[in-house]
Structure 1
Amino acid sequence: MKYFFVVLFTVAGIANGYKCSQKPGIDDELRESFVETHNGYRSLLAKGRAFMQDYADSLPASKMRSLVYDCAAEDSAYQSAKKCSTTASSTGNYNENLYVFEDEDGVGASPIVEAVNSWTSEALDLDQAATKNLYRSSYKISNFANVARDTTEKVGCAVVKCGSKTHLVCHYSPKVEAEGKPIYEQGEPCSRCSAYGSSSCEEGLCVAN
């Protein structure tokens, strides 16, 4: 498995306190790590600095949203993670990513980065120019696409112990049935943030005001 570095960064306005229901394996510090890690990668992607096939630079994104953390998505991810399935299932109202690892001491920032790196490493087999940045299930990039779609607004994640393994699940909304559609719109970073109404540009991401 190939990995590459995801930058942790903070978009102005990220709340330090979330009002999610208490669950084992996750707290507000981890919630912030989840959203920061996702947005860190999305920022690299939007600015044309993420790696694609043969380590080519990614195509820049004109309206890549800054994700916000969502408690309802977390609740859904927790219910899925409790099943201890080894296969992601994007049923219901969310797209799902799953990462399974061994960690006797619980989850910290490092496994979160490892999870996002694992999911987005699928892009290392993607020739964006040849595929016209379209999503097709035959490309085997569903995890990358879930992290990278510019139409995604919210993410929520859960961590559950399953025997000797730990299952880390993230749910994304709104759910996208994306066969044959662009993963994101190409163009100068933040040049089309106006598509989302009142918003500002932070590190190549469109941040709702």
Structure 2
Amino acid sequence: MAMRIITGYLLVVLGFSLSHSQGIYYPELPCSSNNLFYDLVRLKALQTHNILRTQLANGKQRNGLTTEFFPMASNMSLLKYDCELEKIARNISKLCLKDSAHDFEHVGSNNAIFELEYDSISPEIDVSESVNYLVKRWWYAGEINAPLKNLTPTSKDTLLIPFLQMANAATTSLGCAFTVCKNGGVRPFVSFVCQYGEPHVSVNVPIYKEGAPCSYCNNKCVFGSLCKYTSF
């Protein structure tokens, strides 16, 4: 099902308005399915990432538990959706892990869980309504922990990894998936995972270049703040 067919419906469901300043766009997702709510999960995950990256690129993102903001980004890339990364994310989500330790030796994905009601009629609907919240939980790691210094992670910044993976300008693609996990009589829960394309975040490597938005990519700029390095 092509995304252009349901765009009008998506505008209502997502509560978004078309605005280049917010980094909103409505692509045809290459792995869209015949299940509207799976498509909504894909689109909302992608849109939320790009909106937050736009916010960061424009210097409007607070840096940790301070009153300071991150500097503007000259090379923050627009993320595209990748079906192969979605497959990796799905395999991780099937592990149904409730806890994961942050480690710079094992980066590339973010995961989150939330519990379902026993009488949930449609887990897909529950997930589609929760995607924005789950993705923003990762992003808030950049606000509720110690600030990142000089845009460069150190080995002590493990708590920032969820945010760093979302804010890494070198990453140009992602794919997300979820699994409904059932464990005997325990309340079922959803394992939601986003897998990011390489290169991944790394110690001693800045997450982006400081400068006026898009000044590093010139004519490849979209929405006035993100660099469009890939085709869609």
Give the C-alpha shift of residue 159 in structure 1.
1.0
Structure 2 residue corresponding to 1:187, chosen from 199, 211, 225: 211
Spell out, residue by residue over 1:120-167, the C-alpha distance to the aligned partner (whole angstroms, 9 max, x if none): 111122424xx1110123112111011000000101000111121111
Alignment of 1:153-172 (within 5 A): 153-163=172-182, 164-172=188-196
Distance 2:84 2:202 in 1: 22
Spell out, residue by residue over 1:70-126, the C-alpha distance to the aligned partner (whole angstroms, 9 max, x if none): 0000011001100112227889x9700001112344234442111122111111224
| Kept in 2: contact 1:31–1:157 (CA 8 A) | yes
| Kept in 2: contact 1:123–1:144 (CA 8 A) | yes
| Kept in 2: contact 1:46–1:60 (CA 8 A) | yes
Alignment of 1:122-161 (within 5 A): 122-124=141-143, 125-128=145-148, 131-139=149-157, 140-161=159-180
1:202 matched to 2:213 = no
Query: What's the counterpart of residue 40 of structure 1?
Result: 51
Identity, % of aligned positions: 25
Query: What's the counterpart of residue 100 of structure 1?
Result: 113
Amino acid at match of 2:227: C
- Structure with larger Rg: 2
Gaps of 5+ in 1: 1-6
Distance 1:176 1:21 in 2: 25
> How many equivalent pairs are there?
195
Give the TM-score normalised by structure 2. Answer: 0.74
Give the C-alpha shift of residue 52 in structure 1.
1.8
- Change in Cα spacing, 1:152 to 1:111, as seen in structure 2 (3 Å) is same
Distance 1:89 1:121 in 2: 15
- Change in Cα spacing, 1:158 to 1:25, as seen in structure 2 (3 Å) is farther
Give the TM-score normalised by structure 1. Answer: 0.81
- Change in Cα spacing, 1:180 to 1:166, as seen in structure 2 (3 Å) is same
| Kept in 2: contact 1:66–1:206 (CA 8 A) | yes
CA RMSD, 1 decimal? 2.9
Give the C-alpha shift of residue 184 in structure 1.
1.2
Amino acid at match of 2:175: G
1:15 matched to 2:27 = yes
Alignment of 1:31-70 (within 5 A): 31-53=42-64, 54-70=66-82
Amino acid at match of 1:68: K
Gaps of 5+ in 2: 1-14, 17-21, 183-187
